[in-house]
Amino acid sequence: MHPGETLRLTGSFAVHPSYGREFRASGCQYVEPATIHAIRTYLASGLVRGIGPKLADAIVDEFKLDTLQIIDTAPERLLEVHLIGPSRYREIVAAWQAHQEIRQLMVLLQSAGISATHAPRIVRHFRIDLQEAQEVTDVLEIVQATPYRLTEVYGIGFVTADRLALWLGLPERSPQRLQAAMLHSLENAGGHCFLWEKQLYRKTIKNLGEDESLADLLPAELASLVADQRVIAQDIPNGTGRLLPAVFTPRLHAAESSVASRVARLRATGTRLATLGARRNGPLEVLDGAVELAPAQKAAVRMALTEPVSVLTGGPGCGKSFTVRTIVDLVEAASGRVALAAPTGRAAKRLAELTGRSATTVHRLIKGRREDESTPVSLFEANDPLDADLIVIDEASMLDLPLLDRLLGKLAPGVHLLLVGDVHQLPSVGPGQVLRDLLAVDELPRTELVDIFRQSQDSAIVTNAREINHGRSIRNGADFWFIDVRRPEDGTLPEPQEIQDTVVDIVTRRLPERYGLNTCDIQVLAPGTKGPLGTHDLGLAIQAKVNPHRDNTPQHFADGRPYRRGDRVIAVRNDPRKGVVNGTTGKVTEIDAKERQLRMRTDDDGTEVVYAWDELDELFHAYAITVHRAQGSEYPMVVVPLTMSGPSYLLLRRNLLYTAVTRAKQMLVLVGDPNALERAISQPADRRNTSLAVRVREALTGTVVLPRPSRAVDGQASLY
Calpha distance 149→414 (Å, rounded) = 43
Report the relative pairing of strands 608-612 and 619-621 from DSSP bridges. unpaired
Buried-state track 424-454, b at ≥16 Cβ within 10 A, e below 16 = bbbbbebbbbbbbbbbbbeebbbbebeebee
318 labelled ligand-binding = yes
DSSP assignment, residue 580?
Answer: B
Distance of CA 459 to the CA centre of its chain: 31
Single out the residue of 310, 265, 263, 272 nearest to residue 415, CA to CA.
Answer: 272
Single out the residue of 598, 597, 600 nearest to residue 568, CA to CA.
Answer: 600
DSSP assignment, residue 717?
Answer: -
Calpha distance 610→579 (Å, rounded) = 11
DSSP H/E element including 27:
strand 20-31
Single out the residue of 461, 466, 475 nearest to residue 677, CA to CA.
Answer: 475
Single out the residue of 166, 248, 168 nearest to residue 208, CA to CA.
Answer: 166
- Neighbouring CB atoms inside 10 A of 309's CB total 24
DSSP assignment, residue 154?
Answer: T
DSSP H/E element including 460:
helix 460-469
E strand spans, 72-161: none
Single out the residue of 235, 154, 162 nearest to residue 194, CA to CA.
Answer: 235
Amino acid residing at 625: I
DSSP H/E element including 611:
strand 608-612
Amino acid residing at 529: T
Calpha distance 370→384 (Å, rounded) = 11
317 labelled ligand-binding = yes
DSSP code string of 163-216: HHHHHTT--TT-HHHHHHHHHHHHHTSTT-S-EEHHHHHHHHHHHHT--GGGGG
Report the relative pairing of strands 585-592 and 390-393 from DSSP bridges. unpaired
Amino acid residing at 321: S
321 labelled ligand-binding = yes
What phi-psi label fits residue 699: left (phi over 0), alpha (psi between -120 and 50 degrees) or beta? Answer: alpha
Calpha distance 338→323 (Å, rounded) = 14
- Neighbouring CB atoms inside 10 A of 9's CB total 11
628 touches 655 (CB < 8 A): no
Calpha distance 50→59 (Å, rounded) = 12
320 labelled ligand-binding = yes
Q: Which class for 606: exposed (0-12), middle (13-18), buried (19 or more C-beta within 10 A)?
A: exposed
Helices 197-208 and 175-187: crossing angle in degrees, nearest 10, is 110
Q: Which residues are annotated as part of the binding site?
A: 317-321
Q: Which residues are annotated as part of the binding site for ATP?
A: 317-321
